[in-house]
Amino acid sequence: MKIELKKISKVAIISSLIMSMWLYFGYDVSVINAQRVSKDISSLSDKIASKIVSGFIRVDSDRDGLSDVEEDVYGTHPYMKDTDRDGYSDTMEIKFGYDPTGAGRPDLSIHIPKINISAPITYPVSRAESDIQDAMDNGVAYYPGTGFPGQEGNAYLTGHSSNYFWSRGKYNKIFRELRQLEIGDTFSIVQTQSTGKKINYNYRIYEKRITENSDKSLFFADREGSVVTLVTSWPIGATKQRLMVRGILIK
Ligand SMILES: [Ca+2]
Ligand SMILES: [Ca+2]
């Protein structure tokens, strides 16, 4: 999991340094001028500052595998292994795509600025084709049982590039312009939990290809790291082939 070091506030670092000095050297922190400490912090080498930050990241108060910093990112309690007390640990809920702070799945949405896409990601009730189609009518469908965005594994998302002429759904052409995406372009997936907590996952595209629809194994293939596979019908208006674009989590 990628952690934004920016989230470690300067105040927290200063507090840590003061506490460390007090613990190890018996300094009377009351006489330490805050400005002086701040100045000293600023003059620390990057290497030392990095070690202090790393120390914060590693702290896991409830020993559930999520560091205190990660718990802050997810909005879970750093001293409780099961924040919403539903019998499932925070760690397991996050890994398998459930909301660790409330019931069910978190809300997901996908955003691709280059082609002006911003749409909800929907959860089909099963892998049956009719259920996948229903989910695609209401957004971009998350294929059940594949990796979950933000976590290790390959999350498979699919959306319409076209639909029957009589279908008037809002998302009939949501992936029509997926063809414009190229290697190096980025997109993001936003996870919103029941508490309102939002987590932003950014991906950089590293693979793009056209494949036969009969060979779906590529869409489901395991991949190292956290990747998202976007798939739509190709060419537009046909169903024999699929256009696939794949991105890897960058932060
Ligand atoms: Ca923890
Ligand atoms: Ca739980």
Neighbours of 224 (CB within 10 A): 9
Quick one: pLDDT at residue 27?
Answer: 42
Distance 79 CA to ligand 2 centre (A): 13
Burial 182-205 (b: 16+ CB within 10 A, else e): eeebebbbbbebbbebebebebeb
Distance 138 CA to ligand 1 centre (A): 36
Distance 155 CA to ligand 1 centre (A): 25
163 close to 172: Cβ distance less than 8 angstroms: yes
Enclosing H/E stretch for 231: strand 226-234
Q: What is the dihedral of CA 173, 148, 145, 125, to 10 degrees?
A: -50
Q: Which CATH number fits domain 107-249: 2.40.260.10, 3.30.70.100, 1.20.1250.20, 3.30.450.80?
A: 2.40.260.10
Neighbours of 87 (CB within 10 A): 7
Q: What are the pLDDT digits (tens) for 41-89? A: 555 566 656 665 655 568 999 999 999 999 999 999 999 999 999 999 9
Distance 109 CA to ligand 2 centre (A): 22
Which residue in 247, 116, 248, 109 sits closest to 180, CA to CA? Answer: 116
Quick one: pLDDT at residue 57?
Answer: 61
Quick one: pLDDT at residue 215?
Answer: 81
Distance 100 CA to ligand 1 centre (A): 12
Counting ligands in written order, which one lies closest to the CA of residue 90?
A: 2
Distance 84 CA to ligand 2 centre (A): 5
Q: What are the pLDDT digits (tens) for 147-202? A: 999 999 999 999 998 766 666 678 888 999 999 999 999 999 999 999 999 999 99
Distance 80 CA to ligand 1 centre (A): 7
The mean pLDDT of the chain is 83
188 close to 110: Cβ distance less than 8 angstroms: yes
Distance 69 CA to ligand 1 centre (A): 8
In the chain, where the domains are located:
1-58, 60-103, 107-249
Residue 234 pLDDT class (50, 70, 90 cuts): confident
